[in-house]
Structure 1
Protein backbone atom coordinates (compact mmCIF):
# COMPACT_ATOMS: atom_id res chain seq x y z
CA UNK A 1 0.00 0.00 0.00
CA UNK A 2 2.85 2.39 0.78
CA UNK A 3 4.51 2.12 -2.65
CA UNK A 4 1.10 2.62 -4.25
CA UNK A 5 0.72 5.94 -2.42
CA UNK A 6 4.16 7.01 -3.63
CA UNK A 7 3.30 6.30 -7.26
CA UNK A 8 0.23 8.59 -7.39
CA UNK A 9 2.22 11.27 -5.61
CA UNK A 10 4.73 11.33 -8.47
CA UNK A 11 1.93 11.40 -11.03
CA UNK A 12 0.29 14.34 -9.27
CA UNK A 13 3.54 16.31 -9.17
CA UNK A 14 3.87 16.71 -12.97
CA UNK A 15 0.18 17.60 -13.17
CA UNK A 16 0.53 20.39 -10.61
CA UNK A 17 3.24 22.31 -12.53
CA UNK A 18 1.08 22.04 -15.63
CA UNK A 19 -1.74 23.81 -13.80
CA UNK A 20 0.68 26.45 -12.50
CA UNK A 21 1.66 27.25 -16.08
CA UNK A 22 -1.97 28.01 -16.90
CA UNK A 23 -2.13 30.30 -13.87
CA UNK A 24 0.91 32.21 -15.12
CA UNK A 25 -0.88 32.77 -18.43
CA UNK A 26 -3.90 34.14 -16.56
CA UNK A 27 -1.68 36.38 -14.42
CA UNK A 28 -0.67 38.72 -17.29
CA UNK A 29 -4.36 39.09 -18.08
CA UNK A 30 -5.12 40.26 -14.54
CA UNK A 31 -2.67 43.21 -14.66
CA UNK A 32 -4.38 44.28 -17.86
CA UNK A 33 -7.66 44.57 -15.95
CA UNK A 34 -5.88 46.41 -13.13
CA UNK A 35 -4.75 49.02 -15.65
CA UNK A 36 -8.38 49.75 -16.50
CA UNK A 37 -9.15 50.07 -12.79
CA UNK A 38 -6.30 52.56 -12.37
CA UNK A 39 -7.80 54.73 -15.10
CA UNK A 40 -11.21 54.68 -13.39
CA UNK A 41 -9.76 55.17 -9.91
CA UNK A 42 -8.05 58.56 -10.45
CA UNK A 43 -11.08 59.91 -12.28
CA UNK A 44 -13.70 59.13 -9.62
CA UNK A 45 -11.82 59.96 -6.40
CA UNK A 46 -9.89 62.84 -7.93
CA UNK A 47 -12.90 64.76 -9.22
CA UNK A 48 -15.68 63.68 -6.83
CA UNK A 49 -14.01 62.79 -3.53
CA UNK A 50 -11.38 65.54 -3.46
CA UNK A 51 -13.48 68.65 -4.23
CA UNK A 52 -16.56 67.45 -2.33
CA UNK A 53 -14.80 66.38 0.87
CA UNK A 54 -12.76 69.58 1.44
CA UNK A 55 -15.72 71.69 0.32
CA UNK A 56 -17.86 70.34 3.16
CA UNK A 57 -15.11 70.79 5.72
Structure 2
Protein backbone atom coordinates (compact mmCIF):
# COMPACT_ATOMS: atom_id res chain seq x y z
CA UNK A 1 0.00 0.00 0.00
CA UNK A 2 1.36 3.39 -0.99
CA UNK A 3 1.22 6.24 1.49
CA UNK A 4 0.69 9.65 -0.12
CA UNK A 5 1.25 12.93 1.68
CA UNK A 6 -1.75 15.23 1.39
CA UNK A 7 -1.57 18.97 1.18
CA UNK A 8 -4.76 20.97 1.08
CA UNK A 9 -5.07 24.64 0.25
CA UNK A 10 -8.06 26.84 -0.21
CA UNK A 11 -7.94 29.31 -3.04
CA UNK A 12 -10.14 32.34 -2.65
CA UNK A 13 -11.96 33.96 -5.55
CA UNK A 14 -9.63 36.96 -5.52
CA UNK A 15 -6.61 34.72 -6.10
CA UNK A 16 -8.35 32.87 -8.94
CA UNK A 17 -9.39 36.19 -10.54
CA UNK A 18 -5.80 37.45 -10.35
CA UNK A 19 -4.54 34.26 -11.98
CA UNK A 20 -7.14 34.53 -14.73
CA UNK A 21 -6.35 38.21 -15.37
CA UNK A 22 -2.63 37.40 -15.68
CA UNK A 23 -3.39 34.66 -18.19
CA UNK A 24 -5.92 36.63 -20.25
CA UNK A 25 -4.80 36.85 -23.86
CA UNK A 26 -1.41 35.28 -23.15
CA UNK A 27 -0.53 32.07 -24.93
CA UNK A 28 2.80 31.76 -23.12
CA UNK A 29 1.27 31.51 -19.62
CA UNK A 30 0.65 28.09 -18.04
CA UNK A 31 -2.84 26.84 -17.29
CA UNK A 32 -4.74 27.91 -14.18
CA UNK A 33 -4.18 24.44 -12.70
CA UNK A 34 -0.42 24.70 -13.26
CA UNK A 35 -0.23 28.14 -11.64
CA UNK A 36 -2.20 26.95 -8.60
CA UNK A 37 -0.05 23.79 -8.39
CA UNK A 38 3.12 25.90 -8.38
CA UNK A 39 1.67 28.18 -5.69
CA UNK A 40 0.88 25.14 -3.53
CA UNK A 41 4.39 23.75 -4.05
CA UNK A 42 5.92 27.12 -3.10
CA UNK A 43 3.77 27.33 0.04
CA UNK A 44 4.69 23.77 1.02
CA UNK A 45 8.41 24.42 0.47
CA UNK A 46 8.21 27.62 2.53
CA UNK A 47 6.37 25.75 5.30
CA UNK A 48 9.15 23.15 5.43
CA UNK A 49 11.73 25.93 5.93
CA UNK A 50 9.73 27.79 8.59
CA UNK A 51 10.63 27.07 12.24
CA UNK A 52 7.82 25.18 13.92
CA UNK A 53 6.29 24.31 10.56
CA UNK A 54 3.91 27.26 10.63
CA UNK A 55 2.37 28.10 7.30
CA UNK A 56 3.82 31.40 6.02
CA UNK A 57 1.79 33.90 4.05
CA UNK A 58 2.63 33.73 0.35
| TM-score normalised to structure 2 length | 0.32
Higher-Rg member (1/2):
1
Q: Which has the higher helix share?
A: 1
Higher relative contact order (CA 8 A, sep 6+): 2
| TM-score normalised to structure 1 length | 0.32
